[in-house]
Amino acid sequence: MKTADFLRVLDREGRLLAEAAELAGTDAKVPTCPGWQVADLLRHTGVVHRWAAAFVAEGHLSFRPTEEPPALDGAALTTWFREGHRQLVDTLTAAEPDVRCWHFLPAPSPLAFWTRRQAHETTIHRLDAEAARGGTPTGIDPVFAADGIDELLLGFHDRARSRARSPQPRVLRVRATDADDAVWTVRLSEEPPAAARGGAGEADCEVAGPVAVLYPALWNRQPFPTVHGDASVAALWQEKSAVT
């Protein structure tokens, strides 16, 4: 996917998130984020949007912490979220392709990184908002979902801070049933996970299903569609793979 594609997803997903939040109400519980209400979801995502926009707009070359969200609730909080989302989309749209700023995963450019990262950040939290709203969630494009699995397995969990570890070596395979080339192999050990595209070799456990279902399942937003083999490996992933 190109940066322009991620930008379109980000624009759409932020609007869907706000719409679902309005329908649910800011005091509604978010079943996919235990202990959170919709207000917490809006505050978190709104802060992250402004945090990301600042790196690109202001060219910060080193890490900067997020700011505290304002003491807003109800309609005022939803409006604040919409404003931050719009600011992020506009900032990324206007940015020069060679803009230099801090980013934390490998990418073709900082602009490519932030646009992709915020598209996935917003999509996962849009699913959270729709879970609070109830009803059928909005669909996810399979190509985008596969990219999100790439980002999670090959990016986030390639870092030393990943907690997805096993005292005994285990191999988890992730297989999309609706795309021939959407297969990942994750080697779990006491070191950070070693993940790669492809299905070579034996696996202790395989989780399988449509790629647009596997994507949120790997982010622990829903159960794995099917689990074959040693189910304790899938359970280990769900227990230890949270990204913070």
One domain for residues 153 and 116 = no
**Per-residue pLDDT, 244:** 77
One domain for residues 123 and 148 = no
SS3 label, residue 217: helix
One domain for residues 33 and 65 = yes
Q: By residue range, what is the domain housing residue 216? A: 142-240
Name the pTM for this structure.
0.96
Do the beta carbons of residue 132 and residue 104 sit within 8 Å?
no
Domain count, the chain: 2
Residues in the chain predicted with pLDDT less than 50, given as ranges, are: none
Do the beta carbons of residue 113 and residue 105 sit within 8 Å?
yes
One domain for residues 16 and 110 = yes
Q: How far apart are CA 146 and CA 211, in angstroms?
A: 6
**Per-residue pLDDT, 96:** 97
One domain for residues 172 and 99 = no
**Per-residue pLDDT, 133:** 98
Q: Which of 207, 104, 111, 98 is nearest to 151 (CA)?
A: 104
One domain for residues 179 and 225 = yes
Q: How far apart are CA 4 and CA 18, in angstroms?
A: 22
Q: What is the CATH number of the domain that holds 102?
A: 1.20.120.450
**Per-residue pLDDT, 200:** 86
Q: Which of residues 100, 133, 166 is at a domain's end?
A: 133
One domain for residues 89 and 153 = no
